[in-house]
Amino acid sequence: MAPAMGNELQHCTVLLKEAVDALITRTDGIYMDGTFGRGGHSRAVLQRLGEAGRLIAFDKDPLATATAQQIQDSRFSIVHDSFASMRDAAAERGVQKVSGVLLDLGVSSPQVDDPERGFSFRVQGPLDMRMDPTRGESAAEWLAWATVQEITEVIRDYGEERFAFQIAKALVARRAKSEHLGLLDSTRELAEIVGHVVKTREKGKDPATRTFQAIRIHVNQELAELQVVLESALSMLEQGGRLVVISFHSLEDRIVKRFMQAQSSAPQMDRRLPIRAVDLPSAPMRVVGRVFPSEAEVTDNSRARSAVMRIAERIAP
């Protein structure tokens, strides 16, 4: 990820070489890139694949899929949908097993840096926050009807914000004034409301950071879709296939870590049952490891600072 430069929104892929090295176990395999973004990982994977290899990428963002369509490679295809649709999309293409699944989670720099997308509290823009602006309910539309309890739960659970209740009350109170002020539909006003409520925050962190994160996660159902795609990846990976996931905040990473740990532990059997050790079920995966960005990468790209990549391998059918 990288900041905007001039009028062009740039994107610097985090852990590019490390992710591709971890993912590719055979050059003739079929691979899934769950988050195309601006194609950094996908292009690197294609460079490593042989003629028989194949890559299917996914992205909800119409601008990302438009970028993907510029790739003229018969081994590559793009799906304009969430990675939660991975298993169905693969089946439609006659794919049952894959050699690897890569997920680069979070928001891409072009999305954050484009004011019209509404992801950033630093710039004025419409309060949208949808990965796909053509589908679903925007952040402004959700805030126009959600109750104090619903807003509190989202900001508390997805933003880990201790002032969630106070923020929710302030947002609903602002809504009561919509007859005179209009709907709350700008990023700057949301940030200002949160800033008036949250008086203390970690050094160097904007008071609105956690609230914007929470609402974005809710609007896009990010954590629910992550759970779905992890299960899909497990069912689709061939023996020896890799699952590689790059997370950028603790909620995502916690889900990935717990999933990989659970799948790398053999099912517990009742010791009183007359089952031979050789017949005991084995764990379907093994944890390969985790990787963090180097100091040099963080220096070049500050948004890589919070990234962690976890790798697991399918070991049993």
Q: What is the structure's pLDDT at 276?
A: 55
Q: 57 - beta bridge partners?
A: 33, 78
Contacts of 74 (CB under 8 A, 6+ apart): none
My answer on whether 43 and 177 are in the same domain is no
Residue pLDDT, tens place only, 42-72: 999 999 999 999 999 999 999 999 999 999 9
My answer on whether 255 and 304 are in the same domain is yes
Give CA–CA dist 201/20, Å, rounded. 37
Q: What is the structure's pLDDT at 279?
A: 56
Residue pLDDT, tens place only, 238-283: 999 999 999 999 999 999 999 999 999 876 655 666 665 555 568 9
Question: Of the residues 220, 242, 264, which one is the last residue of a structural domain?
Answer: 220
Average pLDDT over residues 202-209: 83
My answer on whether 102 and 226 are in the same domain is yes
The answer to whether position 122 is within a domain reads: no
Residue 2 pLDDT exceeds 70: no
The enclosing H or E element of 153 equals helix 148-159
Q: What is the structure's pLDDT at 207?
A: 93
Q: What is the structure's pLDDT at 10?
A: 54
Q: How far, rounded to the nearest angstrom, does the alpha carbon of residue 249 sit from its chain's CA centroid? A: 10
My answer on whether 95 and 35 are in the same domain is yes
Question: Of the residues 193, 220, 247, which one is the last residue of a structural domain?
Answer: 220
| Model-wide pTM > 0.95 | no
Model confidence band, residue 203 (pLDDT cutoffs 50, 70, 90) = confident
My answer on whether 227 and 97 are in the same domain is yes
The answer to whether position 279 is within a domain reads: yes
Q: What is the structure's pLDDT at 271?
A: 61
Average pLDDT over residues 225-238: 97
Q: Do 245 and 309 meet the contact criterion of CB atoms below 8 Å apart?
A: yes
Residues at the binding site for S-adenosyl-L-methionine are 39-41, 59, 83, 104, 111
My answer on whether 226 and 105 are in the same domain is yes
My answer on whether 144 and 183 are in the same domain is yes
The enclosing H or E element of 242 equals strand 237-247
My answer on whether 185 and 228 are in the same domain is no
The answer to whether position 118 is within a domain reads: no
Model confidence band, residue 205 (pLDDT cutoffs 50, 70, 90) = confident
Q: What is the structure's pLDDT at 112?
A: 80
For residue 93, the SS3 value is coil
The answer to whether position 7 is within a domain reads: no
- How far apart are the two ends of the chain, measured CA to CA in Å? 36
Sign of CA dihedral 86, 110, 1, 303: negative
- Going from the C-alpha of 104 to that of each of 178, 182, 252, the distances in angstroms are 38, 37, 11
Q: What is the structure's pLDDT at 121?
A: 86
Average pLDDT over residues 189-201: 90
Residue pLDDT, tens place only, 293-315: 999 999 998 888 999 999 999 99
My answer on whether 260 and 193 are in the same domain is no
Q: What is the structure's pLDDT at 8?
A: 39
My answer on whether 180 and 245 are in the same domain is no
The answer to whether position 175 is within a domain reads: yes
Question: Of the residues 191, 220, 249, which one is the last residue of a structural domain?
Answer: 220
Question: What is the number of structural domains in the chain?
Answer: 2
Radius of gyration of the chain (CA): 21
Average pLDDT over residues 124-140: 95
Q: What is the structure's pLDDT at 275?
A: 63
Q: What is the structure's pLDDT at 181?
A: 83
The CATH number assigned to the domain holding 32 equals 3.40.50.150
Q: What is the structure's pLDDT at 7?
A: 35
My answer on whether 304 and 262 are in the same domain is yes
Residues at the binding site are 39-41, 59, 83, 104, 111
Residue 32 pLDDT exceeds 50: yes
Match 């042989």 to its residue by tokens.
Answer: 50
Q: Do 78 and 61 meet the contact criterion of CB atoms below 8 Å apart?
A: no
Query: What is the average pLDDT value for the chain, to the nearest integer?
Result: 90
The CATH number assigned to the domain holding 171 equals 1.10.150.170
Expressed as residue numbers, the domain containing 158 is 135-220
Q: How far, rounded to the nearest angstrom, does the alpha carbon of residue 135 sit from its chain's CA centroid? A: 18
Q: What is the structure's pLDDT at 274?
A: 62
My answer on whether 230 and 105 are in the same domain is yes
The answer to whether position 24 is within a domain reads: yes
Average pLDDT over residues 137-153: 97
The answer to whether position 114 is within a domain reads: no
Q: Do 136 and 26 meet the contact criterion of CB atoms below 8 Å apart?
A: no
